[in-house]
Amino acid sequence: MLVIGEKLSVIAKRVREAMENRDKGPIQEIAKLQHQYGAGMIDANIGPAEDGGEELMQWMVTTIQEAVPLPVCLDTTNAKAIEAGLQVHNSEWGRPLINSTSNDPERFPIVELAAKYNSQLIGLTVGKGGLPADAEERAGIASEIMARAMENGIALEDLYLDPLVLQIATTQEQALKVVQSVKMFQELNDPPMKTVVGLSNISNGCPKEVRPILDRYYLALLMYEGLTAAIADPREVRETVKTIDVMMGKTLYAHSFLEM
């Protein structure tokens, strides 16, 4: 189970200010903490970044990789910024991951970027219109994204399908549909397709004190269905990942399993 550290996001005030001021300190401190808590990759979410996005993403990638020996997940809607980030990404600790392409024609060029720079890619199973209604609709979109990836010469092992987690507070019935999607996505190919979620979306808009609880239990359900990766707070999900890995037989039990 790959945890992609979510903490470097433009949404967080401290991170946003550090980005604006090009202050490496907070960025590297947060990256190191996430690495320490078991992140296998660091998400760099710079938002739409319409002005100076290219230079900002390059700065983020190099700043993160100066501090931790991990690949970076390039998280922005700005294709030029993604390309700029890919150009400076150091892949000795793993290949980069682009977040994301989708079934929206505006996001098709992202697939070409992944092919050009030998990057891994997240395929978000949404189209141009509204949100997908259920697991079947998501799987249909997933098939189209997979076909597009293959046309561009991307190996399906490099594509992570994202069913799009929605807020439990506003769309409760979607929670289980996303869990079903993770199971269904895997059946679209042999070997099974990889899957990823933005975990904390489930608890978005919920009271602060219940958010980690919702996130952790939801992750347990998703892991049971075979989730490959989650963009999440490594510190928050560490126990869940280790415990479910033991219960699923992926790691050998020992009394001190949480300390490993």
The residues of the shown chain that bind other proteins, judged by CB under 8 A, are: 250-256, 259-260
CB of 245 to other proteins, least distance (A): 9
Nearer to other proteins, 155 or 254 (CB): 254
Whether 58 and 87 have beta carbons less than 8 Å apart is answered as yes
CB of 251 to other proteins, least distance (A): 6
Nearer to other proteins, 92 or 259 (CB): 259
CB of 193 to other proteins, least distance (A): 20
Nearest residue to 46 (alpha-carbon basis) of 76, 81, 13, 80 = 76
Nearer to other proteins, 40 or 127 (CB): 40
CA angle 224, 176, 158 (to 5 degrees): 55
CB of 137 to other proteins, least distance (A): 35
Q: What are the φ and ψ backbone dihedral angles of 208, each rounded to 5 degrees? A: -50, -40
Beta-carbon contacts of 114 under 8 Å, excluding residues fewer than 6 positions away, are: 98, 101, 120, 121, 149, 152, 154, 158
Nearer to other proteins, 147 or 254 (CB): 254
CB of 165 to other proteins, least distance (A): 28
Nearer to other proteins, 129 or 253 (CB): 253
Q: Which two tokens stand for residue 112?
A: 């070409």
Whether 153 and 188 have beta carbons less than 8 Å apart is answered as no
